Amino acid sequence: MTDSIPYGVRLASAWSWRLLLIGGVVAVVIFLIIQLRLIVIPVLVAVLLGALLVPFSAFLQRHGWPKWLSVTAAMLSALAVVGGLLTLGITQIVRGADELAAQSLVAWDEFRVWLLEGPLHITEQQLNDFVDQIITSVQQDSGILVSGALSLGSSLGHFLAGMLLALFATLFILIDGRGIWNWIVGIFPRRARAAVDGAGTAGWATLQNFVKVQILVATIDAIGIGLGAFLLGVPLAVPIAILVFLGSFIPIVGAVVTGALAVFVALVYNGWVIALIMLGIVLLVQQVEGHVLQPLIMGTAVKVHPLGVVVAVATGSLLAGIPGALFAVPVAAVVNVMIVYVSRGSWKDEAPPPATRARSPLWSTVPQKPGFQRGE
């Protein structure tokens, strides 16, 4: 009976049920991640922070620092940098908030005059009716605003809990990353441990490269746009640079939002001519990032094609919004490197590490190869 079925049909059916099984497993994993996002997102943030701080802590230990002191220094350095940037940016924004509001009213009055006297020939009554419609819509949706405020309060609580979880997870990665990795490798069968260990090492090296390169790219973006705003005399140049730096960690979305903010501030304070010049600077910096920095630096570090980056960001945004866009590229890069390592088969010649002595990419002070952090 089987011989009567063409070979092509049998081959297609064999591939089909395997692909359906793989797709079902991936769908279940994605569903669980979305349902547990309040836990998964802080843990992923901790892994990214660990990829940045573990080499720093290991560097201090290689230079004679005690383990507890190097871990403390790494954590405090990260908190100081992030807290300092946020404090500086928020302070500058608060100081200029009143002036920004006043300038926004002036800009609105000028825009209103242009609408009334410009080529559109909008009448005073039409403009007033349009404003009244907006006010009426806001009043009718006041219930939505109240529920949104309650949701914001709940989200703030989730954010604080997630931040504490991320800090604790980062601390444990710094303190006992070797034990965490040994436990993960020990879950798998002994025959698979060499593959899991080697793939994890390659993925961890790629993640470290991604974090370092992303910080470099974000710094270049912030300096370019912030310096352009400063030279043009645009106020709030420092907060704009800080927001550009932080927004650069969210591919595509962060660059668009922070660039639009810089152009808006220039329009409100300096007029449409300076705003157009500011727009040109933002586009220039983003083009340099997209066509020079990303292909040459980021592409080499994460080994993912630019089209793959765009598809990953779009998919992550569709599934999980801003967090999905933030983690899409590092997850895609790590998964890509791990799959390539396993498919290459070089791990077959290596002795599988025992569960209690697995090599740990999460905690190591002695690099075995350039770009790799491997345990003893």
What pLDDT was estimated at residue 60? Answer: 92
Q: CA nearest 326: which of 261, 226, 263, 257?
A: 257
- Give the other-Cβ count within 10 Å of 226's Cβ: 23
What distance in Å separates the CA atoms of residue 303 and residue 299, rounded to the nearest whole number?
Answer: 5
Structure tokens at 31: 């569903």
What pLDDT was estimated at residue 370? Answer: 38
Q: CA nearest 183: which of 353, 331, 343?
A: 353
Q: Which of 37-51, 135-149, 189-203, 207-221 has the lowest mean pLDDT?
A: 135-149
Instruction: State CA 242 to chain mean position distance.
Output: 15
Give the pLDDT band of residue 239 (cuts 50, 70, 90): confident
Give the pLDDT band of residue 302 (cuts 50, 70, 90): low
Contacts (Cβ under 8 Å, ≥6 apart) of 332: 302, 304, 308, 309, 312
Mean pLDDT of the chain: 78
Q: What percent of the chain has pLDDT over 90?
A: 12
What pLDDT was estimated at residue 84? Answer: 86
Give the pLDDT band of residue 365 (cuts 50, 70, 90): very low
Give the pLDDT band of residue 297 (cuts 50, 70, 90): low
What pLDDT was estimated at residue 179? Answer: 85
Give the pLDDT band of residue 350 (cuts 50, 70, 90): low
What distance in Å separates the CA atoms of residue 116 and residue 216, rounded to the nearest whole number?
Answer: 47
What distance in Å separates the CA atoms of residue 48 and residue 207, rounded to the nearest whole number?
Answer: 7
Top-confidence residue, 168 or 33: 168
Each residue of 165-216: pLDDT tens digit? 999 999 999 998 888 888 888 888 888 888 888 888 889 988 988 888 888 8
What distance in Å separates the CA atoms of residue 269 and residue 103, rounded to the nearest whole number?
Answer: 6
**pLDDT above 60 (res 83):** yes
**pLDDT above 80 (res 123):** no
Q: CA nearest 302: which of 174, 176, 213, 190?
A: 213
Structure tokens at 186: 């020990």
At residue 327's C-alpha, the angle toward residues 322 and 333, to 5°, is 145
Top-confidence residue, 163 or 303: 163
**pLDDT above 60 (res 151):** no
What distance in Å separates the CA atoms of residue 230 and residue 234, rounded to the nearest whole number?
Answer: 6
Give the pLDDT band of residue 1 (cuts 50, 70, 90): low
Residue 75 contacts residue 53 (beta carbons within 8 Å) = yes
Q: CA nearest 305: which of 340, 326, 332?
A: 332
Structure tokens at 251: 């591919």
Q: What percent of the chain has pLDDT over 70?
A: 70
Q: CA nearest 163: which of 39, 75, 33, 328?
A: 39
Top-confidence residue, 322 or 119: 322
What pLDDT was estimated at residue 47? Answer: 92
Per residue in 193-213, is it b (16+ CB within 10 Å) or e — as a string?
Answer: bbbbbbbbbbbbbbbbbbbeb
What pLDDT was estimated at residue 137? Answer: 65
Q: CA nearest 226: which of 236, 216, 217, 215?
A: 236
Region for residue 109 given its phi and psi (left: phi exceeds 0; alpha: psi -120 to 50; beta: otherwise): alpha
**pLDDT above 90 (res 20):** yes
Structure tokens at 236: 């709030």
What pLDDT was estimated at residue 159? Answer: 78
What distance in Å separates the CA atoms of residue 298 and residue 206, rounded to the nearest whole number?
Answer: 11
What pLDDT was estimated at residue 46? Answer: 92
Q: Which of 49-53, 92-96, 130-134, 148-152 has the lowest mean pLDDT?
A: 148-152
